[in-house]
Amino acid sequence: MPIQFLNLHHSSLIVSNTEKSLVFYRNVLGLKQLERPPLPFPGAWLQVGESGVQQLHLLELDNPDPTTGRPEHGGRDRHVALTVASLNPVLESLESNRVHYTLSISGRRALFCRDPDGNAIEIIEKTV
């Protein structure tokens, strides 16, 4: 019997300061923070989408990855990709918060930005 994957439950990112990262993920990207199990390290769980099934987990610990010397375009780095109904509100939020981004070089309605720890985030506009 073949394995039947249903969806991506969560992806985890390493962050050096949970509160600083939450400013980016909650205030700039607008993700909702979820209750997190009592774990022996700081971090946060964030809801992606309406169902709450898909999540982004922020794990606070010393970041082994450099924040400098990474590719200018996040599409050439490991990244997490999120889908939005419209890219326009994302562009407005990134610009008003002075977050650098690059547009997708594929020609799709998508962009790449980085969180305060240099994690690359791709945001793709849903196609009809």
Q: What is the DSSP letter of 2?
A: -
Within-domain flag for 88: yes
Of the pLDDT bands very low, low, confident and very high (cuts 50, 70, 90), residue 9 is confident
Q: Which residues pair with 48 in a beta bridge?
A: 54
Counting the structural domains of the chain, the total is 1
Question: What's residue 70's pLDDT?
Answer: 83
The C-alpha atoms of residue 14 and residue 57 are separated, in whole angstroms, by 9
- We report the CATH number of the domain holding residue 54 as 3.10.180.10
Contacts of 32 by beta carbon, 8 Å cutoff, 6+ apart: 26, 46, 47
Host domain of residue 114: 10-62+71-125
Note the pLDDT of residue 75: 84
Rg for the chain, CA atoms, rounded:
15
Torsion of CA 40, 14, 66, 20, to 10 degrees: -90
Q: Check whether 5 has a pLDDT greater than 80.
A: no
Q: 33 in a domain, yes or no?
A: yes
Q: What is the pLDDT of residues 13-24, one digit of tens each?
A: 999 999 999 999
- Asked if residue 2 belongs to a domain, the reply is no
Q: What is the tens place of the pLDDT at every residue in 54-64? A: 999 999 988 67
Q: Is 12 helix (H, G, I), strand (E, B) or coil?
A: strand
What's the pLDDT at 71?
85
